Each structure stands twice: as structure tokens, then as C-alpha cells.
Amino acid sequence: MERGDFGRLKPSVWNDTVEATGSLAARSRGEPVSSNMLTDDEQELRDRAWRFLVPARSRPWLDRAIAELVATRVLAPDMIEPDPTAYFRGLRETAGRSPVSSYRKLSEDASGDRHLVPGFARVASRVLAADRARLAALATTPGVSVREDGNARARVAENRCLVAWVSAAAGFRARAYRYALDHLFIEAPGHDAVPTERAIEGLVASRRALDALGVPPLAAAACAGEPPRAIERSVISRKG
């Protein structure tokens, strides 16, 4: 399967079929689904999210395929049970018996995630701001059809759920990296643990930018359903 930026699958007939099937399956579970076109920022948000929605370790192709199906909403997100110990097991398999290689790989993975979080948070901030304007427009624009209203509100919910999902995934990765570092140090103490710990702490710190977006946690299912309508007509006097 061919991949594009951020490791996401490139467009293809197969991928389009999965996307369409995912929408149908999501509807059957009562999840919000919008048929509206994606804005440039919404598309970029989904591209950047992909980095956090695939396994952060070397696993059989089936695991990654399942993650891809979940990300395209063919399966519900809770179909993948996060296991904080799995990354450490994969690390020992891929890095061999070399402590130096293990510490380096762990540090690189944590640093890679840390560098991607700020960019995702910036795009998410723009998307959420546009969603607020979108909801305001629903309250001020006459003649909006039920279909238009439903699609707009569903897109807002989709965006919120995606941000919540990435935030949860980034937090899980940080915990998995911490578990790996702690147990790697017990097995093979060394000075390489210091920069590795700093890389993990950097990921934890960068994740605060996602918390600052104010999207409720995915675990509480607060992102799903109809977004709040509590937007006064006087808040926005123009769409610009």
C-alpha cells in the first residue's frame, strides 16, 4: 500500500472504498458523519493526525492494517486495546541486544512525536476556530436546510473527535515510551538514558498544546453527537 505525507495512504480506488465503507460503518454506530468537502486545513489536520493513529513500533502488517481501518472508521476506536508494554517488546526485537541502539531508537521515536505535535496543534486551532465560525453562521444564515445543518454539525463533531483522538494517542505513546525507558534502564543502565528521558519529557510538554485546545477527552465520548448550539447571533457580525 503506497503512502503519502506523514505515512498516510495515498489516494487510490482501494482507499476510497475504505473511506466510504468507514463512513457507513460510522453511521451505523451513531457516530457523526459529514458529506461536506474538506477544507484545506481539515485535510491537513487528517494528514498530520495519521502519525499518531498507527502503531509506534514494528508489528505484523495486520496490526497496521487494523489501525488504518480504525482511522478510516470502519472499526470503532476501542477495537484496538492500547498495551503500554507492547512498544518495549517491539523495541527489543527491532533494536536487537544493543542497549545503545535501544536507547537511540526510543529517543528518536519520542523526539519524532514531539516535533509533530506543535504543527498538529496549530492546524487544529485553525480548524476549531473555523468550526466556531461555522456554527455561528448556522445561527445567523436564513434558509439553511436540515441537510446543510446536519452536515455542518457532523463535520464539527468529526474534527473535535479527531483532535481528541490524537491527544489521547500522544498521551498513550508518552506512557509507552516511559515504560520502555524504565524497563530498559533496569535491564541495561547507562548514560544514554538521560537524553532519552529528556526526549520523552519533551513529548509530554508538547502535548500541553493539545490540552490547551479545550477539546473534551475521547474517553468521555464528549466529542461525539451534536455540537452545542449556544452561540449568540451577536457574537459574529460578519463571517470574515
Q: Where are the beta strands (DSSP E) in 58-136?
A: none
Does 238 fall in a domain? Answer: no
Contacts of 95 (CB under 8 A, 6+ apart): 101, 102, 104, 105
pTM assigned to the model: 0.77
Q: Which residue has the cell 533496569?
A: 186
If one counts the domains in the chain, the total is 1
Mean pLDDT of all residues in the chain?
77
> Looking at residue 121, what is its pLDDT?
96
Q: Are 80 and 68 in contact (CB under 8 A)?
A: no
31: in domain: no
The Cβ of residue 190 has, within 10 Å, a number of other Cβ atoms equal to: 13
pLDDT digits (tens, 9 = 90+) for 55-106: 555 444 556 666 666 666 666 666 666 788 888 988 888 766 789 999 999 9
Residue 60 forms part of a structural domain = no
Q: What's the pLDDT tens digit per position in 107-132?
A: 999 999 999 999 999 999 999 999 99
Give first-to-last CA distance, the chain, whole Å: 41
Domain that includes residue 185, residue range = 41-53+84-220
Residue 159 belongs to some domain of the structure: yes
- b (16+ CB within 10 A) / e for 157-167: bbbbbbbbbbb
> Is 134 among the domain residues?
yes
Q: In this structure, are residues 211 and 167 in contact, taking their beta carbons and an 8 Å threshold?
A: yes
What pLDDT was estimated at residue 87? 87
